[in-house]
Structure 1
Amino acid sequence: MNSINHSLIFIFISTFIFSGELITISGKPTTTTTNTTDFIRTSCNATLYPSLCINSLSSYASTVRHDPRQLAHAAISVSADRASAASAFVSRLSANSSKSLSSRDAGAVKDCVETMKDSVDKLRNSVKEIEKILGRVGKREFAWCVSNVQTWVSAALTDENTCMDGLKSMNNKNNGAVLVRVGINKKVVEVVHTTSNALALVNHMGSPNY
């Protein structure tokens, strides 16, 4: 019976992750001017994961143009969307694997569900906050909004890392637990990298335009 449960978990994880990859592939960047693409590429070089940054933001080139605030807004929006998808994945995996995990391992996954939901909320709040400075704003409002965004995105990043740290206590001798941990880590680590990139772009937005 356990082997059947493990097989079902593996199929669920593989199908969901593969589907996510298909979505990413199908959303290839639209044709944009070389200058705009170069701006995104140059900006992404300031992040820890430049390739991921460029791949995830190139499709926003026509909106971003040469505006670092628009680029930061796009980066946070991407992170929020991916965090939301990862959160849904963890929730479904938690429900599907509950019978094959020990109470301790199931608790670790449940904690991850909660921290990922918190991460999504903070990133969504960040998106709304940064939208306040996409127009013409003064220095005080700009500094206040940027500070709020930095705080929330940093906290979201902490939530995502907390999710993965909590899974380290799961039983390595239980194949079902290992499959669950590996599946969650694969989804969440990409969100961690995307959120890290978003935070770097927020930190490099510069001063407001008048």
Structure 2
Amino acid sequence: MSPTHLTLLLLLLSLSTISSSSASTRTQRSPTDFIKSSCLATTYPSLCYQSLSTYASTIQQNPKQLAQTALSVSLSRARSASSSISHMLRSNPPMRPRESQALKDCVETMGDSVDRLAKSINELSRLGGRVGGQSFLWHMSNVQTWVSAALTDDSTCVDGFAGHALDGRVKAQIRSRVLNVAQVTSNALALVNRFAAKYQP
């Protein structure tokens, strides 16, 4: 083989290696890319990414950790909303009877939502590193049931203020806080379902 041909062959091999390396780099997703693409499966993808991207270093590209973190965010916001509603009930001036009752009902249902989200996080953590199989499906079914029930609790709280008769500052504050909890919980449920479906037979 002539020196010219040898030089040309080495150049082609070099370019091929560089191209392969570049393609490999392009296909390697970052944790934030993983979160963004996963959030596309949720009802509120922008809120999903905004609420979870700050935990990218913890989530990495782990679907279980993503679901766990989403549930933790939901629990934190549900606790905050529950505390805020309880404070509103104690500190507000005398309210109309229907308004007062709706607020009391909301305190109860949001407390239930907090309990169920806490149970779902505990249940998911009990999986450890195990995925697949009947035990996995049983644990995931429990998680899905509790998160769905927590979402129903959020809706029940908001529904208690339905109609124009309860329009006002209290209703506006409740809707703002609880709808946000409901949205992050809906997203968490979607990510839990996505994780569960990944390992179903």
TM-score by length of 1: 0.77
Q: Is 1:202 paired with 2:196?
A: no
CA distance in 1, matches of 2:132, 2:172: 46
CA displacement 1:30-77 (0-9 Å, x = unmatched) = xxx961110000000110001110011112211211111110000001
Map of 2:24 onto structure 1: none
Map of 1:22 onto structure 2: none
| Residue among 67, 73, 80 paired with 1:78 | 73
Distance apart, 1:170 and its partner CA: 6.8
**One-letter code of the match for 2:199?**
S
| Residue among 80, 85, 88 paired with 1:90 | 85
Map of 2:20 onto structure 1: none
Q: Is 1:181 paired with 2:175?
A: no
Q: Is 1:140 paired with 2:130?
A: no
Contact 1:105/1:169 (8 A) holds in 2: no
- Identity among equivalent positions (%) equals 50
CA distance in 2, matches of 1:141, 1:85: 33
CA distance in 1, matches of 2:176, 2:170: 10
CA distance in 2, matches of 1:196, 1:53: 10
**Equivalent residue pairs, number:** 171
Alignment of 1:108-127 (within 5 A): 108-127=102-121
What secondary structure sits across from 2:168 in the alignment? helix
Contact 1:69/1:134 (8 A) holds in 2: no
- Greater C-alpha Rg: 2
Map of 1:53 onto structure 2: 48
Map of 1:67 onto structure 2: 62
CA distance in 2, matches of 1:149, 1:169: 33
CA displacement 1:145-194 (0-9 Å, x = unmatched) = 1100000000000000000000125734xxxx610010111011100000
Distance apart, 1:105 and its partner CA: 1.3
CA distance in 2, matches of 1:134, 1:52: 28
